[in-house]
A = this chain, B = another copy of it.
Amino acid sequence: MGKQEIRYAAKVSLKEPANSQSNLHNRWHPDIPFAGTIKNEEVVKIECVDWTGGQIGNNDSADDMKNVDLTCVHYLTGPFEIETAEPGDVLLVEIQDVQPMQDQPWGFTGVFDKKNGGGFLDEIYPNAAKAIWDFEGIFCSSRHIPHVRFPGLIHPGILGCAPSAEVLETWNKREGELITECAHMDRVVALPPLLKSVHAGSADGELKEKIGNEGARTIPGRPEHGGNCDIKNLSRGSKVYLPVHVKGAKFSVGDLHFSQGDGEISFCGAIEMPGVITLKFTEPSFGPGRYIYFEGFSVDEHGKQHYMDATVAYRQTTLRCIEYLKRYGYDDYQIYLLLSCAPVQGHFAGVVDIPNACTTMGLPIDIFDFDISPGTPAKKMDMGSCAK
């Protein structure tokens, strides 16, 4: 009678190494074994380590930041089997809460050394630096940046479903071409698959090696599944629509942020923390919010990978929004005009996750006199035409 305590779909340890925990992984690959099963409509809690897997300490030196091993980061919790999810489905995930770990009420923000990671302003600020943030309920403050204190807009940096083999192949090809093209540049423009430090959950032996050789690195978000999108407003109460590429979805989540600014500019720029996220895997319903947000990345409409180009990303974001609104009978030019003049919100999301800049466009749903929310069936109407 009445609901019981919310189930933990996964617990993690902050004491053991991340790469020894079988419900964590640090690559995107369809063959990483399931770490558990989640029912439709189920509410679960999922614990996450911080994205460096505990490499950073609560101290006053930036040496750990400078020497961080960037092959051992972005440990995600999962992948979870979502019952009945099939390729082609859209998985709706509601973010019901995000909390720091009870017994670790602090997080960190870092600048990497230009030679080991870099960041948005690394030509101007090439050295490593770090700030520790203490959490007091919804607030945070730092002994390293005095006279500042604010409530965190707490959110996950990464969530998404596993790519199919085909999608993964597309990623590797596209990013490989960029690496080839930019071979003459003196900077790392993308991160190809890497056997070193691969952690593939419970996979071992040959399978693990395969995953290491093929698996996509988790740093960039990618247009086909989201991933590391670093959207600061994807906070408590948000609903996310994720494309499913493999049977059971293989959903993963991690990289929790106590707070972040648009752009996450210093790369390790959010307030990174381990914590617990409460999610519901649910059906769409009426009126969940006033904006629908679309993402876009610096992969253009021909599938070409650009390097950190926010202009390309914003163009893609716009095209996705146009695609969405065409379902109702508007033609391309009507929507192009509309997105130009209606009060859409155009934000930088992440500008540091090589090679993909991520931008978002928030479309206000109240400007329409019919319901355009994702959960309702789209009916084409006669929309006439703009002047041509």
Contact = CB atoms under 8 A, between A and B. Distances in A.
A387 B314 contact: no
Given A314-B348, A387-B130, A5 B333 contact: no
B343 A346 contact: no
Interface string A288-321: 1010000000000100000011110011001100
A59 B2 CA distance: 7
A386 B340 contact: no
Interface residues of A, number: 121
Given A147-B370, A150-B367, A261 B5 contact: no
Q: How many copies does the complex hold?
A: 4
A153 interface: yes
Interface in A226-260: 232, 236-237, 257-260
A266 interface: yes
Contact of A368 (B5, B286, B387): B286
Contacts of A341: 109, 131, 133, 257-261, 264, 269-271
A149 interface: yes
Given A138-B97, A260-B341, A369 B147 contact: yes
Contacts of A143: 384
A5 B103 contact: yes
Contact of A5 (B3, B97, B102, B336): B102
A209 B51 CA distance: 58
A336 B136 contact: no
Contact of A150 (B95, B119, B343, B347): B343
A290 B314 CA distance: 27
A34 interface: no
Given A2-B58, A62-B388, A336 B129 contact: yes
A285 B369 contact: yes
Interface stretch (A162-170, A196-204, A356-364): A356-364
A367 to B, nearest CB: 4
Contacts of A364: 150
A3 B141 CA distance: 11
Contact of A345 (B269, B347, B365): B347
Interface stretch (A120-128, A172-180, A211-219): A120-128
A340 B265 contact: yes
A74 interface: no
Given A286-B371, A343-B260, A361-B262, A330 B145 contact: yes
A88 interface: no
A129 B337 CA distance: 8
A360 to B, nearest CB: 10
A25 to B, nearest CB: 25
A106 interface: yes
A337 B103 contact: no
Interface string A49-63: 000000000111110
22 contacts: A1-B58, A1-B60, A2-B106, A5-B105, A60-B387, A61-B387, A111-B337, A127-B388, A129-B336, A129-B388, A130-B337, A144-B386, A145-B386, A148-B338, A151-B237, A257-B341, A258-B341, A261-B344, A262-B346, A288-B366, A290-B290, A309-B309
Given A96-B136, A131-B337, A263-B314, 4 more contacts: A261-B342, A270-B341, A287-B366, A345-B347
